[in-house]
Amino acid sequence: MKSLRRLLAGGTLALALVLPSLAHAEDDVRLRLNWMYYGSHAGFAYGKDKGMYKDVGIDLDIRSGNGSGSAHRLVANGDSTFSYGSCGSMIKLASEGAPLISVGVIDAMGTEAILVRPDSGVKEIKDLKGKTLLTTANAGVNTFFPIVLANAGLTENDVKIVNVPDGALVSSYLQKAGDAVGMLGGLDDKPAEIIANGGERPIAFPYSDFGVDQVGYCIVTTKDLVKNNPDLVKRFMQATIKAYQETEKNPDAAVAAMADIVGGTMNEDAGKKQARDVLDVTLGILYSGNNKDKVLGLNVDSDWASMVDLMKKYNNLDPNADPKSFYTNEFITN
């Protein structure tokens, strides 16, 4: 009897040692950012730092990217689970056969713009005729640039576009590489980066001033994951929405969490200020004007319809494409 009790006790102990590891097993999830860390990404970092993803059973690995198109492709080919990047770029890839879908929106409105140096002599967009602009090959900002030109009375042949290496856009802009007068970039991060690197605040021609009504940046995954593991998508979006809600309340803490991850100059006062300036832009566009109930993360039907119509007209998108095929609100629960 005693030996049986010892055996049962030992078995109970062994089971007790095994069960906690099973109960706390986490899903490994890789999030691919559109770029190297900048202020708009602080919500993800804050959620990771405060355990919001772990609370829903996710071990989150956040990786830098080389443009929205590249980030979304890495999801499509299975390298990453989710991406954060341009919704327009995702539509383009999805229309070409990539099995991608938006499961939530962070930047509800676009911040894309043409940015030119104050000493360039460019005062109006028509002054860009015959000039050179810089961009990077996979940047989401490239998607709607032809629409801006068309609505400004210019053609793609009127402006020379030069691609520069990933991560070298601002430095090339400041060095006037290729006699470029400016670049394509986001109003959320690029002006702050230019100023932080010794440049003057650029003259901006926002795409929104030239008929580009677009959804900004989405959380993207594959249609297969939505179909086969909806619980994982739901938990990821639950944590992400909570992370950005908390970031709205504690932006400095979110920036500090990101600075801890990145280190280097971002962990210095000037780096944190730059990141906070960028984050403030993102926090100001979490909700579009059509999101009447201010539901964070919501894919707003009318916003997507407007963007898809633009892409049908100017970007050779299939005229029969259904806007609702590019997104789902199944995982938006707040």
Average pLDDT over residues 237-245: 98
φ and ψ of 31, to 5 deg: -105, 125
Query: Alpha-carbon distance 217 to 78, whole Å?
Result: 20
> What pLDDT was estimated at residue 334?
65
pTM for the full model?
A: 0.82
Token digits for 81?
Answer: 């689970």
Please state, as a whole number, how many other Cβ atoms lie within 10 Å of the Cβ of residue 194. 22
Q: pLDDT-based confidence at 24, cuts 50/70/90? A: low
Q: pLDDT-based confidence at 50, cuts 50/70/90? A: very high
Could you tell me if residue 299 is inside a domain?
yes
Same structural domain, 267 and 319 = yes
Could you tell me if residue 14 is inside a domain?
no
| Residue-number span of the structural domain to which 101 is assigned | 26-109+215-326
Place of tokens 């000039």: 131
Residue whose C-alpha is closest to residue 42's, from 170, 235, 232, 189: 189
Same structural domain, 101 and 219 = yes
Overall domain count for the chain: 2
Query: Alpha-carbon distance 334 to 330, whole Å?
Result: 11
Same structural domain, 236 and 275 = yes
Same structural domain, 165 and 86 = no
Last residue of a domain, one of 162, 177, 210: 210
Q: Say yes or no to pLDDT of 325 above 70.
A: yes
Token digits for 254?
Answer: 């979110």
Q: How many CA atoms lie within 13 A of 259 on its CB side?
A: 19
> What pLDDT was estimated at residue 20?
43
* Domain containing residue 251: CATH number: 3.40.190.10
What percent of the chain lies above the pLDDT cut of 70? 93
Could you tell me if residue 205 is inside a domain?
yes
Contact 94, 307 (CB under 8 A): no
Average pLDDT over residues 199-205: 95
Same structural domain, 157 and 190 = yes
Same structural domain, 227 and 131 = no
Q: pLDDT-based confidence at 14, cuts 50/70/90? A: very low
Same structural domain, 47 and 120 = no
Q: Say yes or no to pLDDT of 113 above 80.
A: yes
Could you tell me if residue 334 is inside a domain?
no
- Residues 293-306 pLDDT 10s: 999 999 999 999 99
Contact 299, 330 (CB under 8 A): no
Same structural domain, 194 and 61 = no
Could you tell me if residue 270 is inside a domain?
yes
What percent of the chain lies above the pLDDT cut of 90? 83
